[in-house]
Amino acid sequence: MIQAIQKRSLGKTDIRITPIGLGAMEFSGGKGMIKYLLAPVPPDTQDEVICTAIENGTNWIDTAELYGSGYSEISVAKGLKAAGVKPEDVVISTKWFPILKRAKSMRKSARKSIERLAPYPIGLYIIHMPYSVSSVKTQMKEMANLFESGLIRAIGVSNFSKSRMIKAHEALEEWGIPLAANQMQFSLLHRNIETNGVLEAAKDLGVTIIAYTPLGQGVLTGNLHHSPTLLHYMPRLRRSRLSRQLEKTHALIETLESIACEHEAKAAQIALSWTTTYHGDTIVAIPGASKTYQAEQNAKAMRIQLTSEQKEAISSISLEL
């Protein structure tokens, strides 16, 4: 069954986002640390991927200063401009890289991100991981200052455990600002947040979970099961990580493909639909795409409506992994 795309609130903010955004780590240009994981995408293809995602209903893009040391942020702005997207029609989330840094460096990083992303403002500013030299409270104070200066519209964290996420939420309460999101790895291959307290706490606090790597870097599309030679073209680190997962996921892929047939869809779309609906509106996802057909499929997954029986069948087989 086909359904219209319903936007959701980003946490308790007034920002409205589609259940599926576009992950822009793929646009790191083969620069920085990401080159060990992802091959560069040609600049024209990057523009086409962004345009396709937006044309098919996606209204937000996730990037980070880490991705290609700013290359991804520049690429996102370039692609949006090429597609003629107005700043008010798109939400950008980007991230401060905290390793070995103090919270006071955040303002300078945010200003640089703003320059690279111009004319598109930062909607959601995220602490990429919990490894700053400063305490969570000090980081949140700096975030609140950015918010009050109007440099960012919402505050998020990423890879924060339940207790750190609650600390961040409590620290922001002093300013009356909600913690909008926690970006976490979540997919049919990686369901830790369901058992480590993060998801439950996020639901209680009204924090949106942004699921990263929702397609298991391509494993959940089934393409690698059918054509394992595709692995040969991947950077070594990604190849070894993914090849380990192929063998144990055959039954899951078969289930996704058989349900996909019923919806005239693809396994990847069923996986994304499950990820963004199984826990109500709490979880949104940011699949990456290196080709236009992927961006189109992923955005169109928002129009699929799985039955509760289908969702449970997918869930139980993934729990057997």
Residue 68 makes contact with ligand NAP by CB under 6 A? no
Catalytic residue among 67, 71, 212, 278: 67
Shortest distance, position 88 Cβ to ligand NAP, whole Å: 22
Residue 287 makes contact with ligand NAP by CB under 6 A? yes
Specify the residue, 149 or 241, whose C-beta has the smaller distance to ligand NAP.
Answer: 241
DSSP assigned state of 188: T
Q: Are strands 122-127 and 152-158 parallel, antiparallel or unpaired?
A: parallel
Residue 156 makes contact with ligand NAP by CB under 6 A? no
Specify the residue, 25 or 140, whose C-beta has the smaller distance to ligand NAP.
Answer: 25
Per CB under 6 A, contacts with ligand NAP among 43-62 are 62
**Residue 212 falls in the annotated catalytic set:** no
Specify the residue, 63 or 282, whose C-beta has the smaller distance to ligand NAP.
Answer: 63
The partner residues of 107 in beta bridges, in order of sequence, read none
How far, in Å, are 105, 134, 140, 260, 276 from residue 252 at the CA level? 44, 42, 40, 12, 18
Residue 29 makes contact with ligand NAP by CB under 6 A? no
d(CA 170, CA 148): 17
Shortest distance, position 210 Cβ to ligand NAP, whole Å: 8
Q: Which one of residues 40, 68, 79, 216 is an interface residue with ligand NAP (CB under 6 A)?
A: 216
The answer to whether the beta carbons of residues 39 and 312 sit under 8 Å apart is no
Q: Which one of residues 69, 134, 245, 290 is an interface residue with ligand NAP (CB under 6 A)?
A: 290
d(CA 236, CA 37): 8
Residue 17 makes contact with ligand NAP by CB under 6 A? no
What's the token pair of residue 64? 């980070």
d(CA 318, CA 89): 36
How far, in Å, are 15, 17, 145, 169, 321 from residue 9 at the CA level? 6, 6, 23, 17, 32
Shortest distance, position 287 Cβ to ligand NAP, whole Å: 4
d(CA 73, CA 85): 15
Residue 113 makes contact with ligand NAP by CB under 6 A? no
Number of residues that bind ligand NAP (CB under 6 A): 28
Residue 75 makes contact with ligand NAP by CB under 6 A? no
Beta strands in 21-108 (DSSP E): 22-23, 60-62, 91-96
Which are the catalytic amino acids? Answer: 67
Residues that bind ligand NAP (CB under 6 A): 23-26, 62, 128, 158-159, 183, 212-218, 221, 223, 268, 286-291, 294, 297-298
